[in-house]
């Protein structure tokens, strides 16, 4: 029997509740489909930081490297540890170290979920560059604490980085409805974003079956609200993708439904699967977090591992649950009730 080695990083706040739900669903579907998981859980989090002075041990990355995949809940608890410390100590280094350059986030309405828009027929796949751009971490502060203080933070766009995420976008579009929207702000940012547009143009010759359109980020924000059904695959830089995917979460009914996968496409290191929502300190440990985004992320993990049939069964169980009105209305059902419903829908 095939056994997949999974590193579980529940992290902070509701990350713990929702990863427990996802783990239960994944283990059940595995048992039904002739494979299993060997799950190792690590307590790396803001609590861990308060005890040990770091978000993960010095060999954390090397520890994770031997796994087939990583399932992560959420990182951050700003009252305990500044977000700039906790995120740069755990989530962001994993994305970079494991070259998880494609952050994939599907945005569509699950059955029974009421979105805020009139349009209900959109099915968007956002692909966010996940290792460089505005998140490169190149910069510094000088004259700190004086009135001459200067802060510089430079976006870094490499040919390799831009080309590989665009190719990934073209491939995804080719496998879906054949439309790619490439998002920049090249009317204002004349170096990095013009560079991105040029590479989009050049690659389009190789993917003549894909219809590619370049949009500015501001226009894309409006389009995602006004005409979301006109979109198929959307590819954007790290920060632009971050912002657009919270908008995507909003139009799909809320962050409780927004799943994501941090993918290393050439599989030289593990990929990581996590719901888009954060640790939500205000509702942590109340048992009311919606586990659907985490369970859906688990389905994306199954897909990545090649367990396509099991992934389809998990998606069908999620959809059967929301279609019955369970977990479909934010705040209505408890975490356990939603999880139980997904588990029994697997039967
Ligand atoms: C996300 C999150 C992270 C990001 C934060 C927590 C650093 O907002 O995954 O979208 O900006 O990438
Ligand atoms: Mn975000």
pLDDT at 79: 96
Indicate which residue's Cα is closest to atom 12 of ligand 1.
Answer: 242
- Centre of ligand 2 from the C-alpha of residue 344, in Å: 31
Q: How far apart are the first and last CA of the chain?
A: 21
**In the block, which residue shows the tokens 């993918």?**
263
pLDDT at 129: 98
What 3-state DSSP class applies to 106?
A: strand
- Centre of ligand 1 from the C-alpha of residue 35, in Å: 32
Best mutation site among 91, 104, 239 for ligand 1 pocket (most ligand atoms within 8 Å of CB): 91
**Average pLDDT of the chain?**
98
What are the structure tokens assigned to 108, written together?
């569509």
pLDDT at 260: 98
Say if ligand 1 is within 6 A of residue 242 CB.
Answer: yes
Closest-lying ligand 1 atom to the alpha carbon of residue 95? 12
pLDDT at 276: 98
Residues in the chain: 347
pLDDT at 93: 97
Residues 87-96 have a mean pLDDT of 98
Say if ligand 1 is within 6 A of residue 17 CB.
Answer: no
- In the chain, pLDDT over 70 holds for what percent of residues? 100
Instruction: Summarize pLDDT for 49-86 with one digit per residue, the tens.
Output: 999 999 999 999 999 999 999 999 999 999 999 999 99
pLDDT at 346: 98
What are the structural domains, with CATH classification, of the chain?
A: 1-106+253-347 (3.40.718.10), 116-124+143-251 (3.40.50)
- Centre of ligand 2 from the C-alpha of residue 240, in Å: 10
Q: How confident is the model at residue 94 (pLDDT cuts 50, 70, 90)?
A: very high
Between β-strands 259-263 and 271-275, what pairing exists: parallel, antiparallel or unpaired? Answer: antiparallel
Say if ligand 1 is within 6 A of residue 274 CB.
Answer: no
**In the block, which residue shows the tokens 């990934």?**
168
By the 10 Å C-beta count (0-12 exposed, 13-18 middle, 19+ buried), 34 is classed as exposed
Say if ligand 1 is within 6 A of residue 87 CB.
Answer: yes
Say if ligand 1 is within 6 A of residue 311 CB.
Answer: no
Between β-strands 133-142 and 150-156, what pairing exists: parallel, antiparallel or unpaired? Answer: antiparallel
Instruction: Summarize pLDDT for 139-159 with one digit per residue, the tens.
Output: 999 999 999 999 999 999 999
Burial 76-92 (b: 16+ CB within 10 A, else e): bbeeebeeebbbebbbb
Residue 81 gets which letter from DSSP? B
Q: How confident is the model at residue 166 (pLDDT cuts 50, 70, 90)?
A: very high
The Cα–Cα gap between 127 and 241 comes to: 7
The Cα–Cα gap between 307 and 311 comes to: 6
Between β-strands 271-275 and 179-184, what pairing exists: parallel, antiparallel or unpaired? Answer: unpaired
pLDDT at 336: 98
Residues 134-139 have a mean pLDDT of 96
Residues ≥6 apart with Cβ < 8 Å to 212: 170, 173, 179, 180, 181, 182, 200, 204
Say if ligand 1 is within 6 A of residue 276 CB.
Answer: yes
pLDDT at 72: 98
Decide: 182 and 122 in contact? Cβ < 8 Å: no
pLDDT at 126: 98
Residues 211-219 have a mean pLDDT of 98
pLDDT at 263: 98
pLDDT at 296: 99
Instruction: Summarize pLDDT for 249-286 with one digit per residue, the tens.
Output: 999 999 999 999 999 999 999 999 999 999 999 999 89
- In the chain, pLDDT over 90 holds for what percent of residues? 99
Closest-lying ligand 1 atom to the alpha carbon of residue 130? 12
pLDDT at 324: 98
Q: Count other C-beta atoms under 10 Å from residue 250's C-beta.
A: 17
Question: What beta strand segments (E) does 209-346 contain?
Answer: 211-216, 233-236, 259-263, 271-275
pLDDT at 230: 98
């Amino acid at each position: 029997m095939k056994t997949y080695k999974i590193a579980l990083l529940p992290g902070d706040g509701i990350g713990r509740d929702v990863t427990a739900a996802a783990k239960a669903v994944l283990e059940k579907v595995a048992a039904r489909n002739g494979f299993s998981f060997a799950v190792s859980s690590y307590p790396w989090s803001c609590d861990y930081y308060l005890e040990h002075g770091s978000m993960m041990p010095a060999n954390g990355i090397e520890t994770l490297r031997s796994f087939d995949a990583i399932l992560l809940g959420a990182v951050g608890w700003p009252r305990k540890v500044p977000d700039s410390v906790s995120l740069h100590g755990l989530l962001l280094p994993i994305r970079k170290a494991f070259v998880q350059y494609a952050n994939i986030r599907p945005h569509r309405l699950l059955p029974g979920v009421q979105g805020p828009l009139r349009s209900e027929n959109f099915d968007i796949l956002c692909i966010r560059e996940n290792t460089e751009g505005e998140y490169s971490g190149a910069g510094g502060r000088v004259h700190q604490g004086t009135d001459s203080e200067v802060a510089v933070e430079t976006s870094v766009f490499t040919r390799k980085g831009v080309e590989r995420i665009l190719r990934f976008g073209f491939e995804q579009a080719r496998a879906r409805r054949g439309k790619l929207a490439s998002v920049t702000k090249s009317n204002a940012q004349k170096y990095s974003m013009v560079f991105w547009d040029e590479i989009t143009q050049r690659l389009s010759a190789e993917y003549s079956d894909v219809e590619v359109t370049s949009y500015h980020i501001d226009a894309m924000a409006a389009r995602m609200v006004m005409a979301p059904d006109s979109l198929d695959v959307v590819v954007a830089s790290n920060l632009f993708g971050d912002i657009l995917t919270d908008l995507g979460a909003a139009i799909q009914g809320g962050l409780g439904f927004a799943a994501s996968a941090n993918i290393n496409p050439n599989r030289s290191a593990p990929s990581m699967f996590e719901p888009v929502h954060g640790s939500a300190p205000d509702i942590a440990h109340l048992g009311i977090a919606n586990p659907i985004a985490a369970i859906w992320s688990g389905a994306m993990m199954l897909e990545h591992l090649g367990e396509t049939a099991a992934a389809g069964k998990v998606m069908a169980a999620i959809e059967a649950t929301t279609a019955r009105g369970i977990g479909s209305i934010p705040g209505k059902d408890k975490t356990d009730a939603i999880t139980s419903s997904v588990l029994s829908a697997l039967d």
